Structure 1
């Protein structure tokens, strides 16, 4: 066992190790960082000296001060963190982001921002030394964390929201994607079509979408842009409801029952939803009511995730979550390297599955 450092005794430093091993401080540093060629015998001698002195490695705080980095990227998630781990699209984005950041190398610190009390995240952020912050799974509306981070000069990145100009974005053309999904349904021959949206405002509640909440100037917000694209095809009179809890299976199931548990002549023959998880909830609601998908009802999703527990392959707009995360990570890495990357628009692809067909 390495010797214990007595209380009050100064901890051994890298210089102490270098002197004991008979090498320069820079050579000892290369041994611990693994970032340069060092003879095997020299490395063994440095590690032996470190063991004798009880030296466990360079001080990470001192290293971060020298290099001007903390070695941590904050990832801000609105709502409970457990919701992020229930959403396969969110997991795919985080996976792609982590893949790039691991090679930097730097770590990710997940930070929850409770719904309804978004300002409470500021005291959490204030003491943290962060190289950058990524807004992931954040809903519509202003985010108070933006002003706090901007004042500290911390670079910010997101997947479309918040839409502040100080944030570097990896976004998609939400409205055009919404149009493409709706046109697929129209081309199949559907005319009685409904829409299930994620909340359009931070204060939105489950139920029909009020006209006041549809704000064309916020088309970059996923819930707003996708609804506007749907209405570009089917008009503002087409029924639209929203979930009260973002992209959730149960929200889709409740919305599905509200739209489908009506007389047959009033029932839509197709439902366009804003996420694959919501679409799964609508499909289950339809089957609980004795309807067959796609024979009696067509359903579309959004995101392009795999739901192996669902006996359907959802027709969806695939926005390649893992690739989106990689793009985010690449922008963060470029910023850490000293460049100022621009926002990018990511392409999407309509993927036709087994949940859409011509109307009965």
Structure 2
């Protein structure tokens, strides 16, 4: 039957700033038939965690935070076949509550970590890497030789996107908010990077493409780059709005899409693209294959303890981070 275990978790009881986050001890029951219990080694942080903390993405309170982590399976439910106790595993699309040292997770969200990929890498890789997988391979399937625009190219998702684009033979034009971040994105495979603090993004995109602009823009910034992104698109181009780092895009007038060239817009989510265990495994396999081939290096810019999760949120929200940020649990 298994037994109830104690876990340290970070939870919020009301929405607000990082000060609302509390480190608490809770009981974790034995895993259900379709769950696995994971002793976690590292937890990945993402902007969506901030949206959940502030209430932009609301969940019933109180609740934990976080959607991705890595660790070792301690116990598997009776119906679980693809992983077992002792396996090194990771997940990137779990129910909310990954900021914990022990938890139960639906087994269909969990994939094995192959040899050669560490716990820190896996925790930093899953949600961000799966995001790039669905953006580049499912939402707008890049074939190679395209020129694209990707905002926030020095962030955790952005640095993976830079490397993945290079491996596909795609010219990625990135944006970054400082010269240092621009240089980081270039080192990771961006073809060109526009410093948004001192350059006109639309003018530079036109210059870099000989006036043709780009067939697709990947925009995780949101409100502050919405119009800019539309102005960088070719007629009948696709605007992929996949995040809200500067706030949500609201009050959209669809007539703008007509005026700017019969543009397409999509607001995709990872959950839709890895809705089944098979889709999750296929996406993860493509991701891990790139790591194994040396084409994808996961940059972990910051590490915090579970007790310092609020400080991690402050750094993430202040744009004071580069690459991925993780909580370590050893």
- Per the normalisation by structure 2, the TM-score is 0.31
Return the structure number with greater helix share: 1
